[in-house]
Amino acid sequence: MKGGSFFMARKWGQQLKQLIVKKADLPEDVIMDLPRITMIGQLHIYIENHQGLLAFTDREVRLMLKHGHLLIKGSAFVIKTILPEEIMLEGQIEQVLFINE
């Protein structure tokens, strides 16, 4: 997530938010619309604050984020639950990639 903050720092508002986060010790994902990702080994991945499903196959899942995409690679993917801002993915997870455009 460090790489993400570097690119977001360009915007004025983002800079302010980052400041607030640093000074007020507030959780980054709430203030800055960052995804909160929880993984249980390679079995589960739980992503909050995503913006929608872009692509879904059993080897690759692409999620839209506020800024950029999140690419998850692996095999035998099954979406256990999907809600507007949350997704729970099951399968053999090999890579989690942030793609910034």
Partner 1 sequence: MKNQWTNYYTGYVKVKAFGRGTERLINSLTRRGLHVWDVKRIGTEALVFYMEISDIPKLRQIVRKSDCKVTFLHGKGVPFLWKRVLKNSGFLVGLFAFLFSIFILSNMVWGIEVHNAKPETEHAIRKELERMGVKVGKLQFYLDDVDTIQRKLSDEIEELTWVGVELKGTTFHFQVVEKQQPKKVEATSPQHLVSKKKSIITEMFVEKGKSIVKVNDYVGKGQLLVSGIIGTEEKPEIVSAKGVIKGQTWYKANVEVPLETKFSVYNGDEKTKHYLKFWNVSIPIWGFIKPDYSNYEEEVTIRPLYFLQWKLPVSYKEKTWRSKEEIKRVYTKKEAVAEGKKMARSNLEKRAEEGAEIIGEKILHESIENGKVKLSIHYQVIEDIATGQSIIQGD
The answer to whether 74 touches 96, Cβ cutoff 8 Å, is: no
Query: Interface residues with partner 1 (CB under 8 A)?
Result: 52-58, 77-84, 86, 88
**Cβ 32 to partner 1 shortest distance, Å:** 22
**Cβ 98 to partner 1 shortest distance, Å:** 19
Q: Which is nearer to partner 1, 57 or 95 (CB)?
A: 57
DSSP result, 12-80: HHHHHHHHHHHHHT--HHHHH---EEEEETTTEEEEES--EEEEE-SSEEEEE-SSSEEEEEEEEEEEE
Q: What is the rounded CA–CA span in Å between residue 14 and residue 40?
A: 30
Q: Which is nearer to partner 1, 8 or 77 (CB)?
A: 77
